[in-house]
Structure formats: C-alpha cells, structure tokens
C-alpha cells in the first residue's frame, strides 16, 4: 500500500533551505530544524498514529494469480475522505518477489476459477425474484407502496430486509453476451452465495467440469432463522440433478475446495445453531469421508490444499495469534492425520493465497501493521516480506510496544493478556489505562489490525490498553472457547476484572484513570461492568452493545445465536440457565447501580444488535443523571464503514476519553 502522509514539514523545510532567507524569524526556524536533524530527532520521528493518519493507511486485497501463475494480482484501496469512499489502484507482484508493477483494472487477467476446466462454461451468481413480499409486488396497482408483508420469520439479515429476492448460481456458455444462464436452484427460496458475506467461494467446478459444488442453507422461515445447517450440494450438468453431499451433518458446512487429485475438502461445524462451534476440515474421496482435525484441540479459520494433494495448510488461532498449520491427508492409508504448527510469532496470518514450489504466499498483520504479503518457506519455516506498502508511514511514526502477559484468573487458570504501551513509554510515569472488551463473543483477540478498534491508535493517544483473552475466545482449546455460552455475566466478568486488577498493580498505571471500552459482546460487557465494577472505572464506551437480553432475543435477526448462547427464549421459565441470562446476567437489571460517565454508540442499520439496545441504555443513563453521550450512525450497520463516519467515530471516542479520563 502506498502511504500518504502530511508533507507540510518536508515542504516547509525544503523551501526554507533552497530560497534566499532574509527574515530573521525564518532563519531561526531553519536553524532549529537543522539542530533537530543533527541531534537525530526529526519532525516525522515525533509523530504518533492519529485518526487522520489511520485513515490514510492503504489496504491490500489479493485478487488472485494471473493466468500464467507467475504474478499475484493486487488491489490497493485508499480512503478518500472528501468523496467518503475508497480509491483503488492495481498492481502485479512476481510470486518469487520483486517490485510492484502498476497495472490498469483491465489488466487484471486473473485465472478465473469460475470458468469450467474445459473452458466451455462459466459460473456466476445473480439475484432472482422468487417471493412477493413488498406491497408493490403484492398489489401491482400500488407500485409506490413501501410496505413489507411477512407471515413467517427470516424477515431481515445483518443490514437488509428480506425483499423476496435470493442469490442463485447460474452457468452459461463462455462467450454468451447476455446474462441468461441455467439456474442451479430454479424457484428455490434459498441463497447461494450465503448472505450477508458469501461470495463466489461458495461455488466451484469439479476437476472434470461435469459437476458444480455449491453451499446453501435450504431451509425456510423459522427453520432458517433458528438453524446454521448449511450444506454442500453437487449439481450434475448432464442430468441436471442435485445431491446433498453433507446431509448427515446438521451444522455449518462451508468453503468447498478440491485437491489436484479430485478429493473434496470443506469446513464443518457439527452443532446446529452454534455459529462458533469447533471448525474441522473434512475430506470426501471416492465415497469415504474423513475428519482430519477432529482430534486436534483447536478450530480452523481457512485452508488450502497442497499442490500434490497430500497435505492441507490451514490457519487457526493459537495463544493470542493466528498461525499456519499443516495436516496430512492419509486417504485410505491406515494412519491417523497429524496436525503440525508451522509458523510462530507475534502476528496473525490472515490468509494463505497460494503454494508456489516450497513456499506459501500469505498475508500477515500485527497490532502495529496493516496487512502485507509475505512468502513462507516450507523448508525452514521462515518469512520474507514481499510488500511494504505502508512502510513510509510506519517509518514516520513512533510505534507502541505490545507485550504478552499471563494473569491468574479467579479459578486458577493462566489467561493471556495483551498489554499495549504508548510510544516512547516511560515506566517512571503514570498512564491512563483502558480495559478492552472483545466482541464475538467467541472471536479471537489476536494480532489483528482494525481500522476502528485500533490499539496502535489508542496507545498513541497516551493510553495503556489491556486486552485479555478472556473465557470464550478460540486459540486456547475448545473448552475455553465454549465456556462463555449461557454464562455471559459469569466467569468471563471475573476474567476481565482479574486482568485489569493485575495490570493496575504496575506502578505506571494510574488507578484513578481506568476506563472500559468495547463493541457487540464487548459493548454488553461494558454495560454489565458499569453495574458491578465497584468504582474501578472512571469512564465507559459501549458500541452496539447488548443492553437487555430479553429485547435482544425479541429483535435480533440471528435467532440461532441467542437460542444457543442464551439457552432458550425468555418465556421458558423452566430453563434455569436461560433465566439466569435474562435476569442475573442482564445489564438492564443492574442499571440502578450505574454511577459512571458513559458514551453509547449505535448503528441505525444494525439488525444483529438492534437500535433499541443503544437507545434504551442512553435513555436510562440520561434519566439517572449520569454524564452520557449518544453517537448515532443512521446508515451504518454493526460496523462503521464510511470514511467520514469512521473519522467522526475516532474523534468522538478520544474526545470522550479526554473529557472523562
């Protein structure tokens, strides 16, 4: 990514030294700047990360390999604040390393996985109108009606309402001018790709081009809303028949991929309704299914077949990071698969792009650096950076220090805690400190690089950040990951307090200036801690947090999630675990104890944690007379994606901390 950073110091300096200087004030400024250079302390070296700099970081996206397989094709996106969108540039990078070569969008001659192996057909997906849900569809003479008419569930998802249209996969002859093709699921009210985040990874060709494999959740209404049972289907072109490959599994089946030898692998979760279940790699070959990772105490993020089809490389969270692993595929040999961790370090492997000879091409981040492309040598397990698009930016700023600590929990476990220290940290000083509560709730708190919850930015504003890998996070074994379900306000809250209490013992932590911040489940955590923190914290920030578990159950679009994590509907009085979630573990029941300033942030199109959660919390804080502020984004969903909104978010975040901490 190319870095854009303020040039004012460069321009002023060069103008001053290359033109005749008469004014004594200007001369003094020049001498001062030169003295700084001589002392080795340049103006740029004094910078720290700011919201404006963060939103100049360029973002790398791999589009695939070119048709010859010799270059990685890359899109680089740069936030355009003025236009409130992103500008794109395109490059190719030799797979063996070298310089980035700028190309036009038309030169993105990527190998097209959607073209059949024989080159005769191409796959694509498009929306198909199947059901009449909108008033204008039901009443043709009322074409300006904005009504929606529902008689079952699955009425909205993520940030859109169900409008009767579904994603379907088609195939057609290569070279056909129009978009018409053969629909693999004619008249079916089911989605492929899956909404809201699915893409063309949800459908692939068989190696002989005779079959198409695709992912779909072929359920309807309440069954769709309460289940995670996606399956992998095989569609035969000759017979136009469809076979359910994973009918025996009732949880998620996703990401089908075929080896060079024709074996089909996919990711599988076993438990229906449990979106954070252990994710395994399953292989089907000649009618024989084999789970390669079921005996391994971890969960898979993504995978890639080796070129020879004998191994699978995959990424998985481990001990607060995301690393590269390998598992062998024994096929019919009577040997058990063996999982081996290949990489190790304080970083996240965010994707495995391709294998090239004895190297893997991957993307990698850490808390101080956005994604770049690296090669990973499979012979000696070493990395080599292939891109450094934002290097100029990082060279111009002082970086925080990221430390890995372990804290003993109230039940005697060792919990990993990331501690991020401000740039130019001085242990003789005292610093305000933030407890960061991760969302999910079962998502890894690893070496990710966020453009909103950016630890580098928080630390650069002078705050120590304490980020515990509390109960419910993958990367510490399946039992640790599962421990949070139905126990949202239990051991995990003790984990949070154990982390902040342990780090607060350090002499450089200002115990009179502690805050807690988080989003989603992290926002729930903030609301809950606000009622039980016993005056530990001086301020809170909650973004799209669950405030009332009862209304959360009644309005969230991801019903299967609350069914699993809460245990049952709120009206099921016989389910003791669920009743504990709706009563004892419900933040709204502890509002009378709130006594601390709180900033509440809410997205208007967040249907996962809908708007009444944030509005109810804000109204309660206002009526209690607590210093509080509402930051509302009408057009944002569970995230904040528009550049100008993101800058407002960052500026209000730090303005609030300055006022209250």
Residues identified as active-site: 520, 606, 638
**DSSP-assigned beta bridge partners for residue 115:** 122
Q: Are 315 and 302 in contact (CB under 8 A)?
A: yes
- Token readout for 636 is 């944002």
What CA–CA distance (Å, rounded) separates 292 from 312?
9
Closest CA to 561 of 608, 595, 515: 608
Instruction: Work out the burial of residue 2: count CB atoms within 10 Å of its CB; fewer than 13 is exposed, 13-18 middle, 19 or more buried.
Output: middle
What CA–CA distance (Å, rounded) separates 264 from 63?
23
Work out the widest C-alpha separation in the chain, in whole angstroms. Answer: 88
- SS percent in the chain: helix, strand, coil, step 5: 25, 30, 45
Distance of CA 28 to the CA centre of its chain: 50
Does residue 37 sit in helix, strand or coil? helix
Contacts of 510 (CB under 8 A, 6+ apart): 430, 431, 432, 433
Q: Please, what's the b/e burial string for 450-467 (b: 16 or more CB within 10 A of its CB; e: otherwise)?
A: ebebbbbbbbbbebbbbb
3-state SS of 597-653 is CEEEEEECCCCCCCHHHHHHHHHHHHHCCCCEEEEEECCCCCCCCCHHHHHHHHHHH
Residue 86 CB coordination number (10 Å): 16
Closest CA to 301 of 283, 285, 319, 322: 322
Q: Find the length of the chain.
A: 661
């Amino acid at each position: 990514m190319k870095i854009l950073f303020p040039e004012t110091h460069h321009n002023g300096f060069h103008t001053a030294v290359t033109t005749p200087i008469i004014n004594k004030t200007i001369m003094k400024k020049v001498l001062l700047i030169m003295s700084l250079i001589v002392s080795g302390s340049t103006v740029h070296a004094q910078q720290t990360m700011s919201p404006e700099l963060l939103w100049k970081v360029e973002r790398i996206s791999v589009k695939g390999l070119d048709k010859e397989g010799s270059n990685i094709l890359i899109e680089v996106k740069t936030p355009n604040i003025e236009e409130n969108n992103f500008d794109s540039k395109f490059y190719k990078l030799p797979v063996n390393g070298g310089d980035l070569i700028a190309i036009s969008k038309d030169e993105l001659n990527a190998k097209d996985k959607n073209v059949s192996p024989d080159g005769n057909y191409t796959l694509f997906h498009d929306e198909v109108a199947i059901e009449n849900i909108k008033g204008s569809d039901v009443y043709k003479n009322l074409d300006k009606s904005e009504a929606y008419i529902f008689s079952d569930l699955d009425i909205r998802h993520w940030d859109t309402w169900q409008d009767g249209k579904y994603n379907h996969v088609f195939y057609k002859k290569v070279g056909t001018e129009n978009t018409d093709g053969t629909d693999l699921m004619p008249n079916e009210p089911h989605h492929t790709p899956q909404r809201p985040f699915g893409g063309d990874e949800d459908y692939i060709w068989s190696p002989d081009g005779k079959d198409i494999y695709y992912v779909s959740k072929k359920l309807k209404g309440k069954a769709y809303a309460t289940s995670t049972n996606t399956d992998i289907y095989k569609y035969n072109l000759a017979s136009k028949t469809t076979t359910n490959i994973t009918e025996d599994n009732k949880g998620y089946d996703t990401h089908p991929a075929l080896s060079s030898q024709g074996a089909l692998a996919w990711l599988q979760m076993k438990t229906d309704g449990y979106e954070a279940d252990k994710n395994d790699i399953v292989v089907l070959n000649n009618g024989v299914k084999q789970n390669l990772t079921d005996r391994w105490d971890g969960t898979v993020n993504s995978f890639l077949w080796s070129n020879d089809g004998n191994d699978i490389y995959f990424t998985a969270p481990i001990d607060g990071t995301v690393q590269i692993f390998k598992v062998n595929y024994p096929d019919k040999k009577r040997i058990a698969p063996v999982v081996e961790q290949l990489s190790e370090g304080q970083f996240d492997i965010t994707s495995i792009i391709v294998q090239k000879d004895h190297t893997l091409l991957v993307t990698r981040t850490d808390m101080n650096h956005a994604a770049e492309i690296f090669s990973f040598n499979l012979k000696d397990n070493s990395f080599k950076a292939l891109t450094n698009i934002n290097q100029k930016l990082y060279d111009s700023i002082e970086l925080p220090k990221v430390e890995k600590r372990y804290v003993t929990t109230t039940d005697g476990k060792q919990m990993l805690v990331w501690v991020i220290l401000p740039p130019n940290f001085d242990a003789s000083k005292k610093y305000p400190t933030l407890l960061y509560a991760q969302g999910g709730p079962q998502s890894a708190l690893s070496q990710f690089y966020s453009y909103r919850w950016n630890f580098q930015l928080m630390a650069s504003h002078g705050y120590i950040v304490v980020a515990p890998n509390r109960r419910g996070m993958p990367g510490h074994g399946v039992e640790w990951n599962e421990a949070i379900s139905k126990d949202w306000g239990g051991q995990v809250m003790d984990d949070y307090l154990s982390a902040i209490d342990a780090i607060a013992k350090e002499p450089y932590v200002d115990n009179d200036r502690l805050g807690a911040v988080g989003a989603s489940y992290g926002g729930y955590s903030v609301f809950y801690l606000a009622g039980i923190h016993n005056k530990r914290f001086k301020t809170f920030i909650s973004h799209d947090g669950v405030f009332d578990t009862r209304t959360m159950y009644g309005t969230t679009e991801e019903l299967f999630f609350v069914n699993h994590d809460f245990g049952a509907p709120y009206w099921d009085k016989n389910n003791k675990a669920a009743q504990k979630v709706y009563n004892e573990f419900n933040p709204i029941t502890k509002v009378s104890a709130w006594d601390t300033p709180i900033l509440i942030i809410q997205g208007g199109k967040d249907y996962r944690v809908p708007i009444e959660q944030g509005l109810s919390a804000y109204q309660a804080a206002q009526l209690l007379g607590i210093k509080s502020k509402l930051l509302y984004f009408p057009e944002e969903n569970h995230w904040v994606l528009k550049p100008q909104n993101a800058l407002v978010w960052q500026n209000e975040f730090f303005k609030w901390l300055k006022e209250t901490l």
